Amino acid sequence: MTTDPYEPRRGKRVVFTTPAPLAMASGSGEVIENASTIDLSESGARVRLRGQLEPGQVVELFLGRRPARCRVVWTTPGKATQERIAGLEFICPLPGNRGGEKPPSSNFEPIR
C-alpha cells in the first residue's frame, strides 16, 4: 500500500465520474451521500466528497448494488470549501479488465 498520492500507479486509471456514496465500515451507520468518483482502476478509486476521511480508515464505496470495501490511502483538500479528494485502495481488487482494455460498451477514457 502506498501513502504517496504522486507515486506511479500500479494500474491504469480511467475517468469515471458517478455518484458513489461512502459508508463507514466501522458499523457506525454513518454514510457520506455527497461523494462521487473521479477515476477508477482495478486497484482503487479517486473520489470527491464533503466529509472527513482519514488515511487507514476502511470504508465501503457504493458503485453498484454491492459496496466495494476500501482503505483510505490519502486525502487532500479539494477546490471547493469543505471538499476533499481521497485515494481509496480496494481491499479486493475489481475483477476483470486486465491489460488496460476498455470494458465492452463503455465510454471510459484512459488517463494518460
With respect to residue 50, please indicate whether it lies within any of the assigned structural domains.
yes
With respect to residue 6, please indicate whether it lies within any of the assigned structural domains.
no
With respect to residue 54, please indicate whether it lies within any of the assigned structural domains.
yes
How far apart (Å, rounded) are the C-alpha atoms in residues 3 and 55? 8
Cross-strand bridge partners of residue 68: 61
Using the predicted structure, report yes or no on whether residue 106 has a pLDDT greater than 60.
no
Can you give the residue range of the structural domain that contains 37? 28-110
How far apart (Å, rounded) are the C-alpha atoms in residues 9 and 77? 21
CB 45 within 8 A of CB 22: no
Place of cell 502506498: 2
Q: What is the pLDDT of residues 7-61, one digit of tens each?
A: 555 668 899 999 999 999 777 778 999 999 999 998 999 999 998 899 999 999 9
Residue 107 has what pLDDT?
45
Using the predicted structure, report yes or no on whether residue 101 has a pLDDT greater than 90.
no
**In this predicted model, which residue has the larger pLDDT, 112 or 87?**
87
With respect to residue 17, please indicate whether it lies within any of the assigned structural domains.
no
- Overall domain count for the chain: 1
With respect to residue 18, please indicate whether it lies within any of the assigned structural domains.
no
Residue 112 has what pLDDT?
47
pTM of structure: 0.72
With respect to residue 61, please indicate whether it lies within any of the assigned structural domains.
yes
With respect to residue 3, please indicate whether it lies within any of the assigned structural domains.
no
Residue 29 has what pLDDT?
79
Q: In the predicted model, what is the mean pLDDT of the chain?
A: 79
3-state SS assignment for residue 92:
coil
With respect to residue 73, please indicate whether it lies within any of the assigned structural domains.
yes
3-state SS assignment for residue 15:
strand
Which three three-digit cell numbers place residue 62?
A: 457504493
